[in-house]
Amino acid sequence: MQLGSVSNHVISADETWLSDMPDADAMPAPQRRVDVNVLRALLAAVSKGRAVEILYQSMNPTRPEPTWRWITPHAFGNDGLRWHVRAYCHIDLKFKDFLLSRCLEVRGDGEAGAAPEQDVFWNETFPVVLSPNPALSGSQQSIVAQDYAMTSGSVSVPVRKALLYYFQKRLRLDAVGSLDGPQEAPVVIANREEFAHALSEAMA
């Protein structure tokens, strides 16, 4: 973590416990712009348990232009590359994720549309069981099990149900066997049927 922090210019080499700093770098990722005033307003709304109106640019084909919509935010989530605000949508009448960089403006102050404890898929976790890709050789499966600190050939990763979609995308678990070969997809979901059910519930 300290090598990563130095590579991403979060801390300097002098601030680490490493006595002899090795040459290291981290894969750069394009930075998402987040308007500081928008973030400030959303943080305040979460703290006060209030609703706000956001001007949001959706990728939904039915909403090609930015739309003002009331939301009740209560949490923030990161998919490894982007930050989202988790909120109750007063238009769709359900809890959804809104990408922070697509929240263009914030205005207003209103009554909350729902309480944080009502966001079942944020508050519940699902154990994603990962195991080595069976298409790998025996020795390759053994090293994958070692890589992922598996016990008896599997590891259970608790993931918020609201984050299952991002978890699947980040590990490219949805591309196993169709786009990625076993070398690019070293792990598979062992409890695939239960995972698919939990994912479909959270995405509904």
pLDDT at 121: 98
Q: How far is CA 30 from CA 2, 73, 81, 113, 165, in A?
A: 21, 26, 9, 34, 21
- Give the confidence band of 64 by pLDDT, cuts at 50, 70, 90: very high
Residue 21 has pLDDT above 80, yes or no: yes
Residue 27 has pLDDT above 90, yes or no: no
- Give buried/exposed letters for 21-36 (b at 16+ CB in 10 A, else e): eeeeeeeeeeeeebee
104 three-state secondary structure: strand
pLDDT digits (tens, 9 = 90+) for 80-98: 889 999 999 999 999 999 9
**CB contact at 8 A, 114 and 75:** no
pLDDT digits (tens, 9 = 90+) for 114-135: 999 999 999 999 999 999 999 9
pLDDT digits (tens, 9 = 90+) for 29-49: 788 899 999 999 999 999 999
In percent, the amount of the chain with pLDDT more than 70 equals 99
- Beta strand 187-189 with 125-132: parallel, antiparallel or unpaired? antiparallel
174 three-state secondary structure: helix
Distance CA 161, CA 142 (A): 29
- Give the confidence band of 20 by pLDDT, cuts at 50, 70, 90: confident
* Tokens of residue 42, six digits: 């959303």
Residue 180 has pLDDT above 80, yes or no: no
